[in-house]
Chains A and B, each alone.
Chain A
């Protein structure tokens, strides 16, 4: 312990500037975080000499970026203080015991990164009105997740000799991730079935930096350690390339059995507009929109279109497959239609647009049951929503939203439903009211079941926005004090897959002329 403290004290003396900067940024982060959910609004600082105004949100965003950078910098500096790379280091021929050296570095990171963060989190929880003692496990969980991020930085710092070298290594990592992202987009279905190999990847993500750090501290085998990191990157690439995505999706979303009632009935609708068959010369891709009528969604059910895949078979043996594409479009019992979009290469579209093709559309559906329905009237000022924490009404004078701040986690599943016609919002002069029975919903859900979500701040905000579904899009809407709403907690019931077969289908009839960006809706 004596040696650990000796090294620790030396590091504190050497890196006090880095520590001060990192803690100052953390303090700034806490200040801006409190302001973000305390609704202090925009604060402008005017320079007397000029007309520059600094939006506090801009500064807050800057602090959000600089804080992790400052942590990374502290870690790199403190680890490279006793560099593990090279053969000229002073310390390697001194009686340093590697376990004690490593312990000193861990102690430094715990004291000057984790502890200030923990204190800040406790402060933020208390300021936000939550009792920190009720969230000890969650706070420690957050620390563990932050520590995992720091572990990756520490592993890179352990195999590089200087901040510049670390920066270059980080650049390589970023380029690798961009490359993986690009590759993932090129591999059909890979972006939808993101859970493939997750357990393996997580295990490797924790094990690799740990092994690298231990190998470096115990033996300073830099070449082997770097090789290990490269091997880890190669394994991730291999997982991306070799995963049988469609099989996994089929397993996750089993096909509806013959005796089972489909959670939703879909029927092809005629195309909205007559198409002239021409594709603008500057377009490289063509978007196709297939509208379906929706029926059969039970009153207490929510059917979420999680993903879709389109297979087209054209005369002459042409076979085209879109692969599984992610979506998140929820259908309620009152919904009447849905449009499924996909893009084709212009060349292919022009070749088959006038042909009679067979289109097979597979839909991955997540069925939830809307339960625990409670009537609630939005009160004046701050109020408590179960699972969502402290909430209030925010936003512009028209269409205000409900914003909630919760401790460590956003609500796992909370649906806010209201009849637009019953809004208590005053609207503006001349604005009409919606017809009774026109419903708007805002659903927040996530599948993460850990005691805390990843992030620096323990305060998570959720905004329940209003979507004006009224036939009159300019009708008064929004949550205001006095607006009656229904709160419920939809629960996952099952995942399933349905397949639609469209014979004698003419793609040209369904060409979307607006080409509005996203491939799916």
Chain B
């Protein structure tokens, strides 16, 4: 069952295509990280999902409802927090939460108190007088307080100090069991710590989408050491990226790593070698390699 599904979603702003046939599938219960460089189309995709604006073509469903119909009561099950959302800055934090309470039948006052305490939020401070991090925490508290089925976060960690990031992530993870979370980010370090699924968006297209564990498992940095001078193969197997060599060493990134098969392919390409090492890669290293290669690794 999918919490979010898009089919061939296209969004054009005049002649510029921000989304170019996006097919996204976020399983229920997942913590889905939508990553990609700036301008990849992450915010556009999320705004379409939230019906902030409509697609040029294609369709999107959120919690079984067509995104164009998401309005009013539908937002009782959705918590949305964005880095560029304009909050009512004249309101005090406590007043904002009190104001929002009647909108949500499932509003949990005890949870609000818990979040206020956890995020160290001052009730009597105006939102406009809060730091960016505190504002994000207030927005997140107001989006978590009613146990939404789906939490959508658009670049929530941008510009925040590590301590606030950790607090936000901690707050999210505590809610992860009851909700599906879609979070967009171009900062991969924190995503890696809590995402269950990851999708890589580039130039309005999803390059791949899979469970994070599988992704990390199938990427390896490979170093092949020769007895003599190294040489690059004329034709590399599918999945090998960024091949380079220096002296007696050839390095590349394997995007379809399976120990036995990869070893067999290396022997097939290079023949006898002195040594082969496989190093696990961080999410950041994987995406850097992807971005540099610019090829479809899916």
- Report which of B51, B86, B103 forms a contact with A89, defined as CB distance below 8 A: B86
Contact B47 A95 (CB under 8 A): no
In the complex, A14 has a CB within 8 A of chain B:
yes
Contact A87 B99 (CB under 8 A): no
User: How many angstroms between the C-alpha atoms of A92 and B47 in the bound complex?
Assistant: 11
Count the A-B residue pairs with Cβ separation under 8 angstroms: how many?
A: 50
Which A residues are in CB contact (< 8 Å) with B86? 88-90
In the complex, B284 has a CB within 8 A of chain A:
no
> Known contacts being A88-B85, A90-B86, A90-B87, is A95 close to B99, with CB within 8 Å?
no
Which B residues are in CB contact (< 8 Å) with A95? 72-76, 103-104
User: How many angstroms between the C-alpha atoms of A88 and B86 in the bound complex?
Assistant: 6
| Interface hits, B181-223 → A, CB 8 Å | none
Interface centre among A10, A13, A95, A96 (most CB of B within 10 A): A95
- Closest chain A CB from B280 CB (angstroms): 38
User: How many angstroms between the C-alpha atoms of A13 and B76 in the bound complex?
Assistant: 25
In the complex, B100 has a CB within 8 A of chain A:
yes
Contact B53 A87 (CB under 8 A): yes
- Closest chain A CB from B161 CB (angstroms): 23
Contact B52 A6 (CB under 8 A): no
In the complex, B260 has a CB within 8 A of chain A:
no
Contact B103 A94 (CB under 8 A): yes
In the complex, B279 has a CB within 8 A of chain A:
no
In the complex, B64 has a CB within 8 A of chain A:
no
- Report which of B73, B74, B84 forms a contact with A88, defined as CB distance below 8 A: B84
| Interface hits, B52-102 → A, CB 8 Å | 52-53, 71-76, 78, 80, 82, 84-88, 90, 95, 99-100, 102
Which B residues are in CB contact (< 8 Å) with A98? 71-72
| Interface hits, A85-110 → B, CB 8 Å | 87-90, 92-98
21 intermolecular pairs with C-beta atoms under 8 Å apart: A3-B102, A10-B99, A13-B95, A87-B47, A88-B84, A88-B85, A88-B86, A90-B85, A92-B50, A93-B52, A93-B75, A93-B80, A93-B85, A95-B73, A95-B103, A95-B104, A96-B72, A96-B75, A96-B103, A97-B73, A98-B72
In the complex, A284 has a CB within 8 A of chain B:
no
User: How many angstroms between the C-alpha atoms of A89 and B76 in the bound complex?
Assistant: 17
| Interface hits, B7-59 → A, CB 8 Å | 47, 50-53
Contact A97 B72 (CB under 8 A): yes
- Closest chain B CB from A12 CB (angstroms): 12
11 more A-B residue pairs beyond the given contacts A10-B99, A92-B52, A93-B50, with a C-beta to C-beta distance below 8 A: A3-B103, A6-B99, A13-B95, A14-B90, A88-B82, A93-B80, A95-B72, A95-B74, A95-B76, A95-B104, A97-B73
- Closest chain B CB from A222 CB (angstroms): 10
In the complex, A2 has a CB within 8 A of chain B:
yes
User: How many angstroms between the C-alpha atoms of A97 and B71 in the bound complex?
Assistant: 7
Nearest chain-A residue to B47 (Cβ)?
A: A87
Which B residues are in CB contact (< 8 Å) with A88? 82, 84-86
Which B residues are in CB contact (< 8 Å) with A13? 95
Q: Interface on B for A, CB 8 Å cutoff?
A: 47, 50-53, 71-76, 78, 80, 82, 84-88, 90, 95, 99-100, 102-104
- Closest chain B CB from A290 CB (angstroms): 62
Nearest chain-A residue to B73 (Cβ)?
A: A95
Which A residues are in CB contact (< 8 Å) with B51? 92
Q: Interface on A for B, CB 8 Å cutoff?
A: 2-3, 6, 10, 13-14, 87-90, 92-98
> Known contacts being A88-B84, A90-B86, A96-B72, is A2 close to B50, with CB within 8 Å?
no
Which B residues are in CB contact (< 8 Å) with A87? 47, 52-53
Which A residues are in CB contact (< 8 Å) with B78? 93
Which B residues are in CB contact (< 8 Å) with A97? 71-73
Nearest chain-B residue to A6 (Cβ)?
A: B102
- Closest chain A CB from B48 CB (angstroms): 10
- Closest chain A CB from B106 CB (angstroms): 11
User: How many angstroms between the C-alpha atoms of A87 and B11 in the bound complex?
Assistant: 15
Which A residues are in CB contact (< 8 Å) with B104? 95
Return the 8 tightest CB-CB contacts between A and B, nearest first.
A93-B80, A97-B72, A95-B75, A95-B103, A88-B86, A87-B52, A95-B76, A6-B102
Which A residues are in CB contact (< 8 Å) with B76? 95
User: How many angstroms between the C-alpha atoms of A3 and B85 in the bound complex?
Assistant: 22
Which A residues are in CB contact (< 8 Å) with B50? 92-93
- Closest chain A CB from B134 CB (angstroms): 16
User: How many angstroms between the C-alpha atoms of A92 and B51 in the bound complex?
Assistant: 9
Nearest chain-B residue to A14 (Cβ)?
A: B90
Nearest chain-A residue to B88 (Cβ)?
A: A90
- Closest chain B CB from A98 CB (angstroms): 7
Which A residues are in CB contact (< 8 Å) with B80? 93
Which B residues are in CB contact (< 8 Å) with A14? 88, 90
Which A residues are in CB contact (< 8 Å) with B99? 6, 10
Contact B102 A94 (CB under 8 A): no
User: How many angstroms between the C-alpha atoms of A30 and B51 in the bound complex?
Assistant: 47
Which A residues are in CB contact (< 8 Å) with B100? 94
Contact A6 B90 (CB under 8 A): no
User: How many angstroms between the C-alpha atoms of A13 and B95 in the bound complex?
Assistant: 11
- Closest chain B CB from A288 CB (angstroms): 58
Nearest chain-A residue to B127 (Cβ)?
A: A90
Nearest chain-B residue to A101 (Cβ)?
A: B72
User: How many angstroms between the C-alpha atoms of A85 and B86 in the bound complex?
Assistant: 12
User: How many angstroms between the C-alpha atoms of A510 and B50 in the bound complex?
Assistant: 76
Which A residues are in CB contact (< 8 Å) with B72? 95-98
Nearest chain-B residue to A100 (Cβ)?
A: B72
- Closest chain A CB from B36 CB (angstroms): 19
User: How many angstroms between the C-alpha atoms of A96 and B80 in the bound complex?
Assistant: 14
- Closest chain B CB from A481 CB (angstroms): 61
Which A residues are in CB contact (< 8 Å) with B102? 2-3, 6
Which B residues are in CB contact (< 8 Å) with A6? 99, 102-103
- Closest chain B CB from A220 CB (angstroms): 9
Nearest chain-B residue to A86 (Cβ)?
A: B86
Nearest chain-A residue to B82 (Cβ)?
A: A88
- Closest chain B CB from A218 CB (angstroms): 9
User: How many angstroms between the C-alpha atoms of A93 and B46 in the bound complex?
Assistant: 11
- Closest chain B CB from A345 CB (angstroms): 49
User: How many angstroms between the C-alpha atoms of A88 and B99 in the bound complex?
Assistant: 19
Interface centre among B80, B100, B103 (most CB of A within 10 A): B103
Which A residues are in CB contact (< 8 Å) with B95? 13
Nearest chain-A residue to B79 (Cβ)?
A: A93
User: How many angstroms between the C-alpha atoms of A96 and B100 in the bound complex?
Assistant: 10
Nearest chain-A residue to B87 (Cβ)?
A: A90
Nearest chain-A residue to B80 (Cβ)?
A: A93
- Closest chain A CB from B96 CB (angstroms): 9
Nearest chain-B residue to A99 (Cβ)?
A: B72
User: How many angstroms between the C-alpha atoms of A40 and B173 in the bound complex?
Assistant: 74
Interface centre among A2, A6, A13, A93 (most CB of B within 10 A): A93
Which A residues are in CB contact (< 8 Å) with B47? 87
User: How many angstroms between the C-alpha atoms of A497 and B116 in the bound complex?
Assistant: 82
User: How many angstroms between the C-alpha atoms of A96 and B87 in the bound complex?
Assistant: 15
User: How many angstroms between the C-alpha atoms of A447 and B50 in the bound complex?
Assistant: 54
